[in-house]
Structure 1
Amino acid sequence: MTGTRRSKPRYAELGDLLQAAIEKGDHPVGTLLPTELELCERFNVSRHTARAALAQLISAGLVQRRPGAGTRVIAQNAAMRYEQQIDTVDLLMQYGNTARLEVLEAERLIADLAMAQYLDIAEGKDYLRLHCLRLEEHTHAPGAVIEVLIPIRTGVPTERFLDIASTARTLARFLEPGRLSRVEQVFDATAFDAGDAKLLDIRKHEPALRVQRRYRDAQGRLLLITISLHPPGRFAYSMVLSRSHR
C-alpha cells in the first residue's frame, strides 16, 4: 500500500488486501476482522477509508457487519459480481436523457444510531433527505419513487439541495462523474407503502424492485445513497457479466 502513484483509491487497495487475506484463509469463515480503529492503526489510513474498505468486502459477500458485534467473515470467496463504468452515472440515477426528476420534498434531519451507521456518520449528525419521483421525459408518467440520503459535510451545497426548485440540478452537479470512484448497487424486493403507491397510481402493498446505490468519492467517502422503488413492468436493468481478471 505504498508508492508514489496509485491506480486505485486507498480504500480499494485496502479492500483488495483484506479480500486476498480472506481468500488465503488468514481470516477463516466465522472469525472477526480487525476493527476500523485497528485497521487505521495498522495501515495508517483514515476512519472513513477503513469503513469504505469494509463496505467493499460487504458488497463482495465476504463479511457481515452488525452493530456491537464487529465484522464477521461469512465466505472465503467473493460472490459473482459485475463491474460498470462510472461514466454511466446518469443511467444509474435514472434522470438523465430519458427521464427527469421531480423533487417532492427536501428536508434536513438528525441521524439516529441506525441512520448514522447507514450513512457512515456519527450519531446526532445532520443529513438531507430528498423524496422524488422519476418521470418519463415524453409522457411525464411516474416510473419510480426515489429517496436520496446525503450526509452533510464540508462542501455539500445544503441550501441549494433544500431549495426544491434547484434540487435536481444541484444533485446532477454534485454527482459529476469526475469526482466518483465507485457506485455500489444492491437489488432486492420489497412492497410499496400506501403513500408511495398513491404517487405511482398503483395498489398499496404492490411488489417493488428496490435498487439501493451508494456513491463514493475518490477517497472512498460516502457522498450519498439513493433508494429507488420500481413497480412491476416499469423498469428493467440490463447488464453484461464478464470474467474478472484481478
Structure 2
Amino acid sequence: MRINAPKYLLVADLLSKEISNGFPAVGELLPKESDLIERFEVSRTTIREALKRLVSQGLIETIHGVGTRVVARAQNQSFMLTSRSVSELVSYGAGPTRYLISRRESLVLRPEDTPVLKMPAGDTVLRLAGKRVNRADPDLVVSVCRIYVRKPYLSAVSHDREMDTAVYTQIAEAFDSTIQKIEQEIQAVFVAPEEAELLHATPYSPALQVVRRYFFEDPEPFEVTVNTYPGHTFTYKMTLNRAAKTAS
C-alpha cells in the first residue's frame, strides 16, 4: 500500500487487494457506500473516487438500482501493438490469445458491408463470430472478434471451435502465399449491448474497433477481421523514423 498516497488511492488499493483474494467474489456486490464510509472513516467523495478507480481498472461496475458488483479479480491487461512492417503486424496475431468461435455461417454481402470489408456486394463469404481470450487465463476476454473470409479460401479455415493459429496464417500456409499488404483502421465506437457481457463492460461505454484487411496479390482482401476492444484495454503505438536523405 502507498503510505503517502491520497486517501482514495489507499482505499482503492485495499479494496483491490481484497477483491483479488476473492472477498467479495466475482458477481457479488461491494458493501454499500455508507458502510465503506464508516469502515474507512473517510468522506463520500473519497469513496466515490476510489470506486471510480476500480471501475477504470475493470474490477467493478455500478448497476443503477442494484449496487456495485465485482466483475473481475484482477485488472484488465493493456494490450500494446507496435508495428513498423507487415511482418510485425502479422506477428501480433500470433500472440498469447485464443479465438473461441460461437457462430460460423455463410452469408451474402450487402451493399452496406462494402465500406468496411472492401469486398464486393453479392459475394458469398464465411463469417466467424466469437471472442479472443487470454490463452493463460480464458476468463480474461481481449476482444469480440468477427472474421470474414472470401469463398476461394474457405477450404483452408479450420473447423475447430477454438483456434490458437490465426485464420490468415492458416490460409497463407494452405495456399503457399505471402501476405503482401495489411490495411488497418481504428475507430472509436461504443460497446454494443449484445457485446457488453462478453467484454465485461458497460453497454455504450467507450470502445475501439480495429478493422484489418489482409491481401495477397489480388486487389480485394482474402480476409477481414473486425475486433472490438474495451477502450481502456487497448493501446496503439507506432514508431516513425525519419527517412534517410537521398543524394542529389
Give the TM-score normalised by structure 2.
0.56
- Measured in 1, the distance between the counterparts of 2:83 and 2:165 equals 27
Matches of 1:139 and 1:83, distance apart in 2: 25
CA shift at 1:192, angstroms?
A: 0.9
Structure 2 equivalent of residue 85 of structure 1: 85
Give 3-state SS (helix, strand or coil) of 1:237's partner. strand
**In structure 2, how many angstroms separate the alpha carbons of the residues matched to 1:83 and 1:204?**
31
1:218-233 maps to which residues of 2 (within 5 A)? Answer: 218-233=217-232
Work out which of the residue numbers 151, 161, 168 in structure 2 matches 1:165.
Answer: 161
What is the percent sequence identity of the aligned residues? Answer: 19
The answer on 1:98 being equivalent to 2:96 is yes
CA offsets 1:72-125 (integer angstroms, 9 cap, x no match): xxxxxxxxxx973222244443xx232221112111001122224644444322
Task: Give the TM-score normalised by structure 1.
Answer: 0.56
Matched, 1:195 2:191: no
Q: Quick check: which has more Rg, 1 or 2?
A: 2
Tell me: CA distance 1:101–1:167, structure 2 relative to 1, closer, same or farther (3 Å): closer
How many residues matched? 160
Are the structure 2 counterparts of residues 241 and 230 from structure 1 closer, same or farther at C-alpha, using a change threshold of 3 Å? Answer: same
Find the aligned partners of 1:216 and 1:146 in 2 and give their Cα distance. Answer: 19
Q: What runs of 5+ residues in structure 1 fail to find an aligned partner?
A: 1-81
- Structure 1 residues 244, 209: closer, same or farther in 2, change over 3 A? farther
Counterpart code for 2:113: M
Dislocated runs of 4+, deviation >6 Å: none
- Corresponding residue for residue 130 of structure 2: 132
Whole-Å separation in 2 of the counterparts to 1:192 and 1:206? 5
Deviation at 1:218, TM superposition (A): 2.8
| Residue 164 of structure 1: how far off its partner (Å) | 4.0
Aligned equivalents of 2:119, 2:238: Cα separation in 1: 32
Distance between the aligned counterparts of 2:230 and 2:222, measured in 1? 27
Amino acid at match of 2:142: G
Change (3 A) 1:83 1:92: closer
Does the 8 Å CA contact 1:102/1:168 hold for their aligned counterparts?
Answer: no
Are the counterparts in 2 of residues 106 and 164 from structure 1 also a CA contact under 8 Å?
Answer: no
CA deviation vs aligned residue, 1:23-43 (integer Å, no higher than 9, x gap): xxxxxxxxxxxxxxxxxxxxx
Alpha-carbon RMSD across the aligned residues, in angstroms, is 2.9
Residues 1:152 and 2:160 are matched in the alignment: no
